[in-house]
Chains A and B, each alone.
Chain A
């Protein structure tokens, strides 16, 4: 069974631009969560989507948004990029909302210059 895939793997953007990251969960998994990982803050929860609806949200500004499609694939968008948004963005899938066994993708490394 294929794992979680994330595209692109690497991305370089400049301040003020926006970016969209994509995540395809494991087949049959309906919940997708997004995390930001930085050396200083570690792994921080962004939001969780289940059945195309955002179910939970972490403590991030409104510039961070996401959506989920009917096939469970998810996208995350960051608008008006700031230098501090440089991070590894990880997507994790699980069978259902509130299922704690999450399986992570390899991440998208975003660098903002």
Chain B
């Protein structure tokens, strides 16, 4: 079935550093989304991408829909402590979603 792979699984960075994470698959998708989940809460939608090659920003976050439609990346610039959490990519096939396993981000002061 459809499967998404996220890397890295976890990362520790210093406050102020830039962060890059990606999501890959062997399957083609029509939509890519990025979510952030804080402990004890549901995921929060960060960015949605609908076209191959699309580059979209939301504040310090930038995400791109890969040209091959099999991948996407998320960049966070100038990280701050509240960026801590788990970042999930999700992609649609048909009318269902599949989620990646997540990248756990820790920000050291």
B66 within 8 A of A: no
B105: min CB distance to chain A, Å? 16
- Given A100-B33, A101-B33, A101-B48: A45 and B97 within 8 A (CB)? yes
Contact between B40 and A106 (Cβ–Cβ < 8 Å)? Answer: yes
Q: Which residues of A contact B101 (CB under 8 A)?
A: 42
A-B Cβ contacts below 8 A, count: 50
**For this complex, into which size category does the number of interface residues on chain A fall?**
20 to 34
Interface residues of A, dominant DSSP? strand
Contact between B45 and A101 (Cβ–Cβ < 8 Å)? Answer: yes
Expressed in whole angstroms, the Cα–Cα distance for A105 and B40 within the complex equals: 11
Expressed in whole angstroms, the Cα–Cα distance for A31 and B97 within the complex equals: 14
Instruction: Kindly identify, within residues 34 to 49 of chain A, every residue whose CB is under 8 Å from any CB belonging to chain B.
Output: 35, 42-45, 48
Chain A residues at the B interface, C-beta cutoff of 8 Å: 4, 33, 35, 42-45, 48, 55-56, 58, 90-92, 97-98, 100-107
Given A90-B43, A104-B42, 14 other A-B contacts at CB below 8 A? Answer: A33-B97, A35-B99, A42-B101, A43-B88, A43-B99, A44-B99, A45-B97, A100-B31, A100-B92, A104-B45, A106-B40, A106-B41, A107-B41, A107-B42
